[in-house]
Amino acid sequence: MRIISKLKKTISKLLNKGDSRFVLLKKNVAVSFVFKGIGLLIGYVRFPLTLSYLGNAWYGVWLTIGSFTGWLSFFNIGLGNGLRNKLAESLAKKNIEESKKYVSSTYFVISLISLGIYLIIVPIIFWVDWNSVFNVKDISPSILKVSLFSFVTFFCVKFILRLLRTVFEADQKPAFSDLVDFLSSVLFFIAIILLINYAESSLVYVVTIHGALPVVLLIGFSLYYYNNSYKSIRPSLKFVDRKLLKGLANLGVKFFIIQTSVLILFSTDNIIITRVLGPEQVVGYAAARKFFGIVDMGFSIVLVPFWSAFTDAYTKGEINWVNQSIKRLIKLVSLVAAGLVVMFIASPWVYKVWLGDKVEISWQLSLFMAVFVLIRAWSNVFIYFINGVGKVKLQLLISIIISIVNVPLSIMLAKEFGVVGVIIATVACLIIGVFVYPIQYYKIIRKKDNGIWGQ
């Protein structure tokens, strides 16, 4: 009991040390690590169970359908990230009326967009030959279409409801967003176990349950928080403001183009592998990405609250806090590098224990996946600051260029080197950011961000 008591006191001192912003940030990171850590563990256990339930071909299709989430998400034209910045700024200034207008206006526009997506995509679902798209032959076309219909239906509802997560993040409370993901992951894991024991293999069941769970949770969270903590900024049609929408849209469009470019860069991998090498090959690629994604996700947990914290600090002119935070994050990147080395060495054994003989993953794929995660970690330290202050035009141009190059390069290298060629192409495209984004950060901090550096 004394050991536990001392441990609690030590953790409490660590979490409460520093200024109020950094204390809030650390508490969110700590809670997020708990939620995402347990959720990640559940995800790794669920991976082989779902693979066993669906089989390699169906599971490859399921992963590819999942990659469409990113494609559909970009239809918010960056308004989510625009709201995140503008709401964080108005909250920093304690302007509640302006905050309510930003929230109300964004919900209104996103609702219209969601309805438009649904009315356009649903007819397309029943018109396209999805067997050809997914490169599968011995699979019922009707099952694919029903699965996609279910996926789009729940996505469009979640598209609106997930704005609550943006409100959490703008208020520097991203741990509440992670709670939604955590509960969804736990409930989906339970659902998979029930399906294995009581239902025959069905892609429709998996897609429907996976889509419905977060929708139900977000409805519950929205009703609770907009009637309690966020009652003062609860969305209302009376507070939809066209004037504020213009500023929100200007920043949002920049984020939209960046999101679209990043989407092409990251979300086309499964589709390219499916088309060039077959859906079965997606499984090994996804497994390697999921394994090294432990570090990527862990570092993202740390970074997420910094976005709005940077906005808050920069708005208030607290540049010293920004510099100290960047230095801490750079030190953390060195730990990320060390962790990736250990994971790469241990990867053959981990794959064997985790997946058995179901999937074969080469050491080359593991190596480049580790390099990919390290590059992402380093670049994101500076990108999160740049995003937080809204000076994203340079990032926009770089994103466009690499997204255009990535797809043909991935296809060419996939034909030459197989699955590993796809991640090599991604790594090659991301190298430029390793050098450019730190330079932009230093220019902004030193007030020398002339021209495109400060736009």
Of 71, 103, 414, the closest CA to residue 264 belongs to 71
| Average model confidence (pLDDT) across the chain | 86
Cα-flanking dihedrals φ and ψ of residue 292, to 5°?
A: -75, -15
pLDDT at 7: 46
Q: Are residues 399 and 275 located together in one domain of the fold?
A: yes
pLDDT at 253 over 80: no
Distance CA 332, CA 300 (A): 12
Domain end position, chosen among 220, 254, 288? 254
Asked if 373 contacts 393 with a C-beta cutoff of 8 angstroms, the reply is no
Q: Are residues 242 and 272 located together in one domain of the fold?
A: no
**Structural domain tally of the chain?**
2
Q: Are residues 357 and 451 located together in one domain of the fold?
A: yes
The answer to whether position 35 is within a domain reads: no
The answer to whether position 44 is within a domain reads: no
Q: Are residues 188 and 128 located together in one domain of the fold?
A: yes
- CB burial of residue 122 (10 Å; 0-12, 13-18, 19+): middle
Q: Are residues 153 and 289 located together in one domain of the fold?
A: no
Q: Are residues 241 and 330 located together in one domain of the fold?
A: no
Q: Are residues 148 and 231 located together in one domain of the fold?
A: yes
pLDDT at 107: 93
pLDDT at 13: 57
Confidence of residue 422 (pLDDT cuts 50, 70, 90): very high
Domain end position, chosen among 194, 219, 254? 254
| Exposure on the CB side of residue 326, measured as CA atoms within 13 A | 21
pLDDT at 340 over 90: yes
Q: Which residue has the higher pLDDT, 345 or 202?
A: 345
The answer to whether position 25 is within a domain reads: no
Asked if 241 contacts 101 with a C-beta cutoff of 8 angstroms, the reply is yes
Q: Which residue has the higher pLDDT, 13 or 340?
A: 340
Q: Are residues 223 and 250 located together in one domain of the fold?
A: yes
Q: How many residues does the chain have?
A: 455
Give the Å distances, CA to CA, from 115 to 27, 67, 122, 128, 287.
37, 21, 11, 21, 35
Q: Are residues 182 and 279 located together in one domain of the fold?
A: no
Q: Are residues 306 and 210 located together in one domain of the fold?
A: no
The answer to whether position 230 is within a domain reads: yes
DSSP characters for 333-396?
HHHHHHHHHHHHHHHHHHHHHHHTTS----HHHHHHHHHHHHHHHHHHHHHHHHHHHT--HHHH
Q: Which two tokens stand for residue 113?
A: 């967009």
The answer to whether position 98 is within a domain reads: yes
Q: Model confidence over 379-407: pLDDT tens digits?
A: 999 999 999 888 889 999 999 999 889 98
Mean pLDDT of 213-239: 93
The answer to whether position 34 is within a domain reads: no
Distance CA 271, CA 273 (A): 5
Q: Are residues 276 and 150 located together in one domain of the fold?
A: no
The answer to whether position 99 is within a domain reads: yes
- Domain containing 373: what range? 268-455
Which residue carries 């996700």 as its tokens? 297
Q: Model confidence over 111-159: pLDDT tens digits?
A: 988 999 899 889 988 888 888 877 777 777 888 888 889 999 999 999 9
The answer to whether position 263 is within a domain reads: no
Domain end position, chosen among 224, 254, 284? 254
Q: Are residues 363 and 240 located together in one domain of the fold?
A: no
